[in-house]
A and B are shown apart, each in its own frame.
Chain A
Amino acid sequence: MIVSSPPSADGLLLTTTHLTAALFTTNGAALLEDLLQRGVSAGASLVEVFAERTDHLGLLAEQDNITSVNPSFACGAGIRVFRGERDGFVSTNDLSRDGLTRALDQALAMLGLEIGTRDSAAGFQGLRALINHAATKEDWLQRCPSMAAAGDRLKQGTAHLERLGQHLQVRRGSYSRDWQEVLVAASDGTFARDIRLHQSTGLSVLAADGDYRASIGRRYGSTDRPEDLVNWNSETSATEVCESAGKMLRADYVEAGQMPVVLANRFGGVIFHEACGHLLETTQIERGTTPFADSVGSLIAHPAVTAVDEGLSDGAFGTLSMDDEGMAPERTVLIENGILQRFISDRAGELRTGHRRTGSGRRQSHAFAAASRMRNTYIDAGPHKPEDLIASVDHGLYCKAMGGGSVGPTGQFNFAVEEGYLIENGQLGQPVKGATLIGDAKEVMPRISMCADDLDLAAGFCGSVSGSIFVTVGQPHIKVDSITVGGR
């Protein structure tokens, strides 16, 4: 039997003391202050407690039935202790005083800190008055659609697909509702509470006709809008999916090569998110994996490019009232007319790299330490019309819808093109599939030579060092003068 486990008062048994969630009651502040005092007294330069309660609902409709309903609820805390620039992090599902104290002591021990070795009065001046961003959001969970109502909306969506599409072998609709209550307290006095609500809805199809197949999907997401699913126009969404599937079903595979590319607005912004946005997070400076570490004030992109990351756009998927370190978000201009202005920074990033915090400390859940992460990130609108961009290309590719993508540790990126069209002599031509855009951030940013005036945003999920988080990508139509298109 293993003997190195930490001792437990209750264990993960069926006891009434486990997970009492006292943190979220009016007594929570006293408990948090006790924990923070304990940590500072042991010699920590900063102690932070992030606690959360979540309530999730996921539904899946296939053809004309609801085939999966997945409710879940959870709670937990992540305790982070800094000693200078080093930090230790412990997460637990046990929100009892004993459980939290055990987690704190474990984090302190990681850094060689022991209880009772320092002046108990030193450092910690108590929590400031609670900043309660949740005050107007208490009823949001109740205002969301019921399981039955959500299921009905999804079935309306798949019914529209049936009516509007052809050769549809599979029709799917999905809905996800994530409610999260968070509490952040730190030994610098930070004390803040928030309620977040993210909802996303998607429709997808698999069209098949003989050997021809096309799978097309679209996902929509919002923040802090309880009635969003009720207001969703499922017919418009279904029309978009079916039109795309119809065009892509018999599309030829794209011929590989170097060519100019025009990327559509909205989810086309994933290229900036992956190719450049990640490299402007201070976590990348810490790892030594961004080529832009010393480039603030330098031209890193075409002068046509101005790029922004912010947490403020109304209802956007990456919008926040506060980040996961209790800081209010802000509008951060990353690149202005091609010149690098700022990095996205969190508490640890500021400590270790000197880049000022931007309200960008984010995490998937209590099980992750916060890291500098993007929120709503987009290339700003330019002076051109979308058709000007198409007209400027003799032979190239128009990427109307993008799939996923990723960026490697050396800045190399790749994106799948879900819906593409050839451009010949300034005109849109036949649909093509199987395209992948590959390149290097440092090389591609100067090649974004034209930006249209139709900036729009799209919801997405971003997976990285602190887990999967809700983000928005966006851009107007943009033209990349030359990029490698992988195909056949």
Chain B
Amino acid sequence: MTETNGLNASALRDRLQQLARREGIHQWDLGAACSDDCSVQVDRGEAKQLKAAQRSSITVRVWNGDGLVGITSTTDLSEAGLEKALTGAHEASRFGNPDDVPGFSPLATAPLPELDRPLKQRRGILPLLSTLREAEADLLARHPAINSVPYNGLAESLSQSLYLNSDGALREMQRTQASLYLYAKAEETGRKPRSSGAVRLALGSGDLDVSGCIEEAVERTVSHLAYRPIDTGSYRICFTPEAFLSLLGAFSSMLNARSVLDGVSLSRRESLGTSVAVPFLSLHDDGLHSGNIGASAFDGEGTPTRRISLIEGGVLTNFLHSEATARAFGVAPTGHAGLGAKVSVGPDWFVVSTTEGVSSGHDLHHKTHQDPFVLIEDLSALHAGVKASQGSFSLPFDGWLVKGGERISVEAATVAGDIRTVLNSLLHLETESEVTPRGVSPHVWVDGLSITGEA
């Protein structure tokens, strides 16, 4: 995206100011985004689908004479589109909620953190196709049971986002990102097919760890070929970093001030300062972490992104905030807001770690532990199997029953429990942390979770 076809922030601001003045609107803000991306998929050496997209969108918020807020979004960046969005937001403000009026973030003009995310040259669709063809061929050649890679894709994008408001705030950033996913299917005669895969992210497609992605996809798929059913019962569990981060993410409303205020969180205002997990668990949200490829320097309200402690020594220390929720709690916004009439709040990048100086009292390692346990590699269907406001989950998983060092792939099974119980019955966090596409975590051990198998 060049200066000629990206969003022109100053032109956008000037035009909005003119339109707002004409409509008698004194307070407004705007979030905008545009992107230019392309992606490829292949099927046994042939290009399956080649895609490209140019996208642009803006969201305008307006405060009316009564101080109520309205919003409108559009992909139409013409003058007519901008005018329609502004007047639409003004009309919608008549239905603004007087009990919860968002304002400008007090940090919308504060200095932004330095982000070391250089823009990378995009290679274009045909080189992407060539790379993916080679990756697919390599993967298919690794094991005779792997007969297809039904889900695969290689993509690269350049995107731009900005935030500006009538008080003069102007945030702008560009970023490049590339992704590769390879999900293979393997099947042996008389056995059910198995499928698994791997994902890699990078700032540019030339930086993607293609061979690592192939290795992991092969290992994950082939290692599950010799599956067996598992008996239904209660098991000692070890979550891989990716699986534990998936589970935490599904219950992030526990840490979300918006959800607390709405009454749909397991936490309450008074939960701050109370114990919610074992003392050796600490949790931070760190959107600026070097492993976070999609890092943004500011949130939807222009608040700078920052690292924040959520659980320290098992004690709930902070919630994630927007401007409005921060005001309600008497704290500063944390940089986790979207942009809306009712502003959403969400985590950036969880970092799970052992509390400094606090031991679990165990010395467990998933590669050496001899007693039976279930190693959960990946959780599925979180959208269906998690009741975030109740705390319960019942989720299909890929994993192994590990006995005396032998790993036996588990046939279709689910793991069920309550997140509060899980956090308070953690046995151990292993020493080494892994950077995953979801965040950073070590392997996490917990006792007594229910597993339903088909045995």
What is the distance, in angstroms, from A488's C-beta to the closest C-beta of chain B? 4
**Residue A15 contacts which of B78, B85, B150, B193 (CB distance < 8 angstroms)?**
B78
Point out the residues of chain B lying under 8 angstroms from A71, CB to CB: 71-73, 88-89, 91-92
**Residues on the B chain within 8 Å of A68, using CB:** 97, 340-342
Measured between beta carbons, the chain B residues less than 8 angstroms from A76 are 75
CB-based contact A92/B452 at 8 Å? no
Q: Is B150 touching A11 in the complex (CB atoms < 8 A)?
A: no
Beta-carbon contact of A287 and B150 below 8 Å: yes
Nearest opposing residue in chain B for A257, CB measure: B232
**Are B97 and A67 within 8 A (Cβ)?**
yes
Interface stretch (choices A40-48, A175-183, A235-243, A404-412): A404-412
A73–B8 CB distance below 8 A: no
- CB pair A73–B76 under 8 Å, yes or no, is yes
Contact count A vs B, C-beta below 8 Å: 290
Contact between B195 and A410, CB atoms less than 8 A apart: yes
Among the stretches B302-310, B357-365, B377-385, the one at the interface with A is B377-385
Chain B interface residue number, banded: 35 or more
A147 touches B91 (CB 8 A): yes
For residues 235 through 267 of chain B, which have their beta carbon under 8 Å from a beta carbon of chain A?
262-264
CB within 8 Å of B: which A43-96 residues: 59-60, 62, 65-76, 85-94
CB-CB < 8 A to A253: which residues of B? 392, 416
Q: Residue on A with the closest CB to B69?
A: A69
Contacting residue for A5 out of B36, B125, B412, CB 8 A? B36
Cross-chain contact A88 with B195 (CB below 8 angstroms)? no
B-chain residues with CB within 8 Å of residue A403 when the two chains form the complex: 384
B239 → chain A, closest Cβ, in Å?
A: 17
Any B CB within 8 A of the CB of A106: yes
What is the 8 Å Cβ interface bit string for chain A, positions 255-282, against chain B (1 contact, 0 not)?
0111000000000000000000000000
Question: Given A5-B36, A415-B384, does the pair A87, B50 have CB atoms closer than 8 Å?
Answer: yes
Residues in chain B near residue A151, CB distance under 8 A: 95
**A68-B340, A69-B70, A170-B262 known; A484 vs B52 contact (CB < 8 Å):** no
Contact string against A for B residues 34-55, beta-carbon threshold 8 Å, 1 for contact and 0 otherwise: 1010000001001111111111
Closest Cβ of chain A to B98, distance in Å, is 8
Which of B116-124, B270-278, B287-295, B426-434 sits within the interface? B116-124
B75–A14 CB distance below 8 A? no
CA distance A225 to B394 in the complex (A): 38
In the complex, which residues of chain B have a beta carbon less than 8 angstroms from the beta carbon of A85? 46
**Which residues of B from 281 to 332 have beta carbons under 8 Å from A?**
none
Whether A406 and B383, one on each chain, are in contact in the complex, defined by CB atoms closer than 8 angstroms, is: yes
A169 to chain B, nearest CB (A): 5
Q: Are B452 and A4 in contact (CB under 8 A)?
A: no
Q: Which of B330-381 contact A (CB under 8 A)?
A: 340-342, 380-381
Chain B 200-248 interface residues, beta-carbon cutoff 8 Å to A: 232
Q: Does B145 contact A (CB under 8 A)?
A: no
Does B183 touch A at the CB level, under 8 Å?
yes
Q: Is A135 at the interface (CB under 8 A from chain B)?
A: no
How distant is the Cα of A88 from the Cα of B262 in the complex, in angstroms?
A: 45
Please give the distance in Å from A316's CB to the nearest CB on chain B. 23
The answer to the question of A134 belonging to the interface, with a C-beta cut-off of 8 Å to chain B, is no
Beyond A8-B4, A13-B77, A289-B185, whether A110 also contacts B50 by CB under 8 A is yes
In the complex, the chain A residue whose C-beta lies closest to that of B393 is: A434
Contacts of A439 in B (CB 8 A): 412
Query: Is the CB–CB distance between A409 and B92 below 8 Å?
Result: no
| Chain A hits for B341, CB < 8 A | 67-70
B82 touches which of A2, A14, A20, A65 (Cβ 8 Å): A14
Interface centre among B52, B74, B121, B194 (most CB of A within 10 A): B52
Q: Does B26 contact A (CB under 8 A)?
A: no
Given A86-B46, A436-B395, 17 more A-B residue pairs with CB atoms under 8 Å apart are A4-B122, A12-B56, A70-B340, A70-B341, A74-B74, A86-B47, A93-B75, A107-B50, A169-B263, A286-B48, A404-B383, A406-B381, A414-B380, A438-B412, A440-B192, A484-B453, A486-B414
Measured CB to CB, the residues of B under 8 A from A are 1-8, 11-12, 15, 34, 36, 43, 46-57, 70-82, 84-85, 88-89, 91-92, 94-97, 99-100, 119, 121-126, 147-148, 150-151, 158, 174, 176, 183, 185, 192-195, 232, 262-264, 340-342, 380-381, 383-385, 387, 389-392, 394-396, 412-414, 416-417, 450, 452-454
List the 3 shortest-distance A-B pairs measured between CB atoms, nearest first.
Answer: A486-B414, A8-B5, A404-B384
